[in-house]
Amino acid sequence: MSITYLLPLFLSLITISSVSANFQRDVEITWGDGRGQIKNNGELLTLSLDKSSGSGFQSKNEYLFGKIAMQMKLVPGNSAGTVTTLYLKSPGTTWDEIDFEFLGNSSGDPYTLHTNVYTQGKGDKEQQFKLWFDPTADFHTYTIIWNPQRIIFTVDGTPIREFKNMESLGTLFPKNKPMRMYSSLWNADDWATRGGLVKTDWSKAPFTASYRGFKQEACVWSNGKSSCPNASKQGTTGSWLSQELDSTAQQRMRWVQRNYMIYNYCTDAKRFPQGLPKECLAA
């Protein structure tokens, strides 16, 4: 019996599940020269950006499939030109990657939430959304669910995108390369806001994004082995490892896409003059 979106998300074979987030234990700040800071005994992490540099961190664990969730409060006020990210990525020149990118905007205008999936270094599978709340006023939970059958992006538990494994159609799907979780805050005012027309106002610096509640329910990859040895087999049952969207979740996702999606590569015929990608035609 398939496990639907609303069922409990825990399985005994998953050997890591962070009951209480602790950034000191679970991540390391990798760049920013002090602009990234872990506070409150590991319960809070902040990244900052000024004209000299941004900052970033990564998970200590690598994963080959998992449910990765983070509570984030984005840069408030005039965030034009800034990009805050939360993503999974493997190393190398033919990398796999699953992206949340939050593109800042002028005061009073909504953030753009950019999603993408890369396999073997090939992406071009963008969907973009405007959020239905102010992501700077409080913390909100952003989750990537990655299993052998699909990738689900959720915001506060509401699914906004599903990318299915359609290898049978020739569509690449990330399933062989372990990935770490990364997050960063950096300047991209050459493209991030209105295609680069609106630049970063450095008089507002430093810009700060805040993080808490990092949860990792995942197949951890270590020393060439997965903590879930049978995870790659189709039909593996239990929690996020076989999670799909039931009819209620599908309705919620369609509501988001109908009201808040602002770009979908699957409807951009001008971008694909020789025909839309096969996974778009099968959706």
Among all residues, which ones are annotated catalytic? 97, 101
Other CB atoms closer than 10 Å to residue 243's CB: what's the count? 23
Q: Residue 202: helix, strand or coil by DSSP?
A: helix
Give a three-class secondary structure readout of 51-100: CCCCEEEEEEEEEEEEEEEEEEECCCCCCCCEEEEEEEECCCCCCCEEEE
| Distance of alpha carbon 65 from alpha carbon 82, whole angstroms | 29
Alpha carbon of residue 102 to chain centroid: 10
| Distance of alpha carbon 213 from alpha carbon 88, whole angstroms | 17
Q: Which own/partner pairs from 272-278 qualify as long-range (CB within 8 Å, at least 24 positions apart)?
A: 277/125, 277/171, 278/166, 278/169, 278/170, 278/171
| Distance of alpha carbon 240 from alpha carbon 2, whole angstroms | 11
Q: What DSSP designation does 122 have?
A: B
| Distance of alpha carbon 116 from alpha carbon 172, whole angstroms | 13
Residue 112: closest CA among 98, 123, 127: 127
| Distance of alpha carbon 99 from alpha carbon 115, whole angstroms | 5
| Distance of alpha carbon 64 from alpha carbon 60, whole angstroms | 14
Q: What DSSP designation does 82 have?
A: E
Q: Residue 188: helix, strand or coil by DSSP?
A: coil
Q: What DSSP designation does 111 have?
A: P
Q: What is the CA radius of gyration of the chain?
A: 18
